[in-house]
Structure 1
């Protein structure tokens, strides 16, 4: 049965790093019997067997050490069906199409057309009438519920994330060696990228470093962050009259394109970014091949990867870069929503079953379970030092037992920890500070039938054109033609539908 023994007061935030890919160990809702039948009434303390189709971000699934603790606390037996993060889009959309689901389904790609269509189709329970009946779920802010809703329905419990986590990790020791300060403007950032490429920042007498590392995922590459620094909208711009303009059809986006193109032309941006995976981007930084990494929350993992390779590496997290006007902007990933924990009606057939599953999710937000999923077992995986700061005792054991569960936490913001690593703790503080100038995406709570049907393929038009422009394969006219192609292929209809939806929700 559930225990309530955890008493420690927590302060300042920690984000758990996610790297690598996972092995798919199964898919389907029949692996365990459910703990409720059609005639059972809701008992929050009843034993429950459930299946969970989940996304994880490590090289292999976790051991059962933490799972047993979670099951004991929540009075459940959980069968996890792991989907590799690298293939989640394909595997989840296939599962949705085939109906091979589970009692709980982790949906992180809320802008994916197949996912949105499935949510709107009535495949999943609308949980909005139930959240206020639970200790933690009732605390989910209304703006988060709205951001996670589609067509007015909330088809799962929102994963609560920090509003904006974007920022840079820069080699502080390289800055010091070259007599440079931490950049605060785009011009200063460009100069750092140049110097890291041309001025031998590691002092080995070789031309073997590049300023910006990067990867092929445009949303999480340097470009999205740089476009924020230029003041580009996040996804869409909406004016006072409710007119929608896609981010890539704005002057600020073009400024960011030209900035990134110049970086690439001069060799200050890694030349193979278009085919580079996140893990390779991290290794490039850890091995001293690049000096600027996009992804401030990965700072501790980067330092860990560098152990034994660059033990003297010093880094600094940076979250404020302006155009020189002192105005800061950073894009918000999902407006604070990291996806949904959704409950398919094909598997969860009664309201009693749904309520018991919601109780399970609510229990996952209790402090004790949060610590299991964040740090592991005190004295085994972590300890608190004399300053009440969180410190891992065995990184390898933590990665094997704990790390895969971190992305399954329904909330990353309900509690917080002070990290024993001062660089990581500073990055956590800067993530909180980002909320002051986060740029939200106005389309997140809106719905467009055309976007649901064709959004993914239309996005590819712009993604390809953006990469081609940065690499010098098309000129400005070529990019503008791609934008027009996007509009002609259905983008214009998406604009109209978003405008209508916005007007309806903002009379």
Structure 2
């Protein structure tokens, strides 16, 4: 990107020096500063805003300037990206934070990282809460999202707004027709389908070679947590009016979910090896016609459909996002990270005053405009995409789109709410259902809170519960044994975590 010149000389030299040290910048995306620019340029409302952006790269190589030129026109800016490969983001961001080798905008996607959280709490970045309402698209960020993205009650950046709740149930509709059942709406109806898919030869080959559920070894993104939502299980934590915290596995909903999975396993209505099955194997097995129920992200339906091409060409899928434990229960679906994908943060070392901060906030506000969002998602009409007869956005040059557009997708401050229609019918339906899920999303109240014990011991303690959950479902331990594991979790640090969350919750109120 040799054309990117004219940045603050001090900033460019800072970034370049870190790049040469191999600690921060991706080779090939450099900038040369030949002259000092007028220091007041960022304050001149009629000039282009010159922006350096330390960002995460999720593709093999940085984008070319084709789409970037258009983004700059839309936002009246000149942008210099410094790309960090996703695979090494944690190490390189830690280095950048420690050396204060940053940029006007810093993409922080790992808010649970202790170095990131400590940097945010230290005052290294601007608290933007009081400024958001000055900009229409930033003002639209909901209170729930702002709270979830905050650290100790302060919002140190603009939240990356992700889909609130993506999960649901994907079912072989052609198999439902074969066994004479309707699309299930309750967990009990879903179990009836699982039984029929296992015992009634839904593929019609005369062999006993199918199961109901095809699941994987993941209690979060597999079937378990989504089924838990249908039984009223809280999202990781339940907090009462006094700020007392209870873990999800201390609730009746969690036990009902274990009992449900246990019944599936005992009857053979789920793949027997689910506890050791990888996601790729789960999806391949489903696509090969070995099972008819997949619980996970609804947009996975498109991938399952693609994988089944040439193998299960008659596959017809039904998507369900309104399942409950019974007809009287309220809809609920857990939210991954409360819809927060990180922060666009503004370091005080680079952004010197309110005027400069507001210019940058306006830039992000402009990125949230529909036309700019479309650029960062699909590219340029006629070059990267076309609108088909149904008004869907159809990529016309996949290779060019991957090279010039795809790298920008993860830079969008918001990934939903624009109503752009996917040309694939099953993906378009999944998008609609995911958007609808937002009304029923269950947040994790601990996302914005601090617990030192959870930071240091949380992962190890969770292993106690994960192991006990699988052991109970597989019939290796009793419910009393599971409750003993919960007690062990409390005794070894869980009780302290709950107390720390309570203190942080009450302080943040």
Whether these two folds match at TM > 0.5 is yes
SS at structure 2 position matched to 1:167: strand
Which structure is richer in relative contact order (CA contacts within 8 A, separation 6 or more)?
A: 1
Distance 1:482 1:493 in 2: 16
The reply on whether 1:479 has 2:482 as its aligned counterpart is: yes
Q: What's the CA shift for 1:98?
A: 7.5
Aligned length: 480
Corresponding residue of 1:4: none
Corresponding residue of 1:121: 122
SS at structure 2 position matched to 1:189: helix
The reply on whether 1:361 has 2:364 as its aligned counterpart is: yes
User: How do 1:270-309 and structure 2 match up within 5 A?
Assistant: 270-293=271-294, 294-309=296-311
The reply on whether 1:227 has 2:224 as its aligned counterpart is: no
C-alpha contact 1:113 1:456 (8 A) present in aligned 2: no
C-alpha contact 2:376 2:409 (8 A) present in aligned 1: yes
Alignment match of 1:324 (pick from 317, 323, 326): 326
Corresponding residue of 1:421: 424
User: How do 1:243-392 and structure 2 match up within 5 A?
Assistant: 243-293=244-294, 294-327=296-329, 328-345=331-348, 354-392=357-395
Corresponding residue of 1:188: 189
Q: What's the CA shift for 1:474?
A: 4.1
Corresponding residue of 1:169: 170
Q: Name the CA shift for 1:210/1:146 in 2 (closer, same or farther; >3 Å).
A: same
Alignment match of 1:436 (pick from 415, 435, 439): 439
Alignment match of 2:24 (pick from 12, 16, 27): 27
Distance 2:161 2:68 in 1: 21
474-483 vs 250-259, greater mean Cα deviation: 474-483
Distance 2:427 2:470 in 1: 31
Structure 2 stretches of 5 or more lacking a match?
1-21
Q: What's the CA shift for 1:41?
A: 4.5
SS at structure 2 position matched to 1:79: strand
Q: Name the CA shift for 1:91/1:279 in 2 (closer, same or farther; >3 Å).
A: farther
Distance 1:471 1:88 in 2: 38
Q: What's the CA shift for 1:105?
A: 3.9
Q: Name the CA shift for 1:135/1:385 in 2 (closer, same or farther; >3 Å).
A: same
Q: Name the CA shift for 1:272/1:49 in 2 (closer, same or farther; >3 Å).
A: farther
Structure 1 residues 101-151: Cα deviation after superposition (integer angstroms, max 9, x where no partner): 665443344445554344323343322233234342232223321221110
Corresponding residue of 1:148: 149
Alignment match of 2:412 (pick from 409, 413, 423): 409
Q: Name the CA shift for 1:419/1:178 in 2 (closer, same or farther; >3 Å).
A: same
221-230 vs 36-45, greater mean Cα deviation: 36-45
Q: What's the CA shift for 1:222?
A: 0.9
Q: Name the CA shift for 1:177/1:149 in 2 (closer, same or farther; >3 Å).
A: same
Structure 1 residues 283-314: Cα deviation after superposition (integer angstroms, max 9, x where no partner): 33333333222211333333233334333221
Q: What's the CA shift for 1:26?
A: 8.0
C-alpha contact 1:113 1:455 (8 A) present in aligned 2: no
C-alpha contact 1:197 1:210 (8 A) present in aligned 2: yes
Structure 1 residues 223-269: Cα deviation after superposition (integer angstroms, max 9, x where no partner): 11011011111121123443221111111101111212332344433
SS at structure 2 position matched to 1:149: coil
Q: Name the CA shift for 1:267/1:103 in 2 (closer, same or farther; >3 Å).
A: farther
Q: What's the CA shift for 1:400?
A: 5.2
Structure 1 residues 439-498: Cα deviation after superposition (integer angstroms, max 9, x where no partner): 222223433343344434433443343344434454433432332232223221221122
Q: Name the CA shift for 1:491/1:95 in 2 (closer, same or farther; >3 Å).
A: farther
C-alpha contact 1:132 1:138 (8 A) present in aligned 2: yes
Q: Name the CA shift for 1:388/1:91 in 2 (closer, same or farther; >3 Å).
A: same
- Per the normalisation by structure 1, the TM-score is 0.81
Q: What's the CA shift for 1:184?
A: 0.9
SS at structure 1 position matched to 2:176: helix
- Look at both structures and tell me which one has the larger radius of gyration over its CA atoms: 2
- Per the normalisation by structure 2, the TM-score is 0.81
Corresponding residue of 2:107: 106
Distance 2:311 2:61 in 1: 24
C-alpha contact 1:31 1:51 (8 A) present in aligned 2: no
Distance 1:310 1:31 in 2: 48
SS at structure 2 position matched to 1:501: helix
C-alpha contact 2:153 2:508 (8 A) present in aligned 1: no
Q: Name the CA shift for 1:348/1:395 in 2 (closer, same or farther; >3 Å).
A: same
Q: What's the CA shift for 1:49?
A: 5.0
Corresponding residue of 2:8: none
302-311 vs 28-37, greater mean Cα deviation: 28-37
Corresponding residue of 2:451: 448
Distance 2:460 2:108 in 1: 19
C-alpha contact 1:215 1:277 (8 A) present in aligned 2: yes
Q: Name the CA shift for 1:168/1:118 in 2 (closer, same or farther; >3 Å).
A: farther
Q: Name the CA shift for 1:433/1:123 in 2 (closer, same or farther; >3 Å).
A: same
Q: What's the CA shift for 1:436?
A: 3.4
Q: What's the CA shift for 1:220?
A: 1.3
C-alpha contact 1:112 1:456 (8 A) present in aligned 2: no
SS at structure 1 position matched to 2:408: helix
Structure 1 residues 165-195: Cα deviation after superposition (integer angstroms, max 9, x where no partner): 2212111112112222111111111222233
Distance 2:282 2:60 in 1: 16
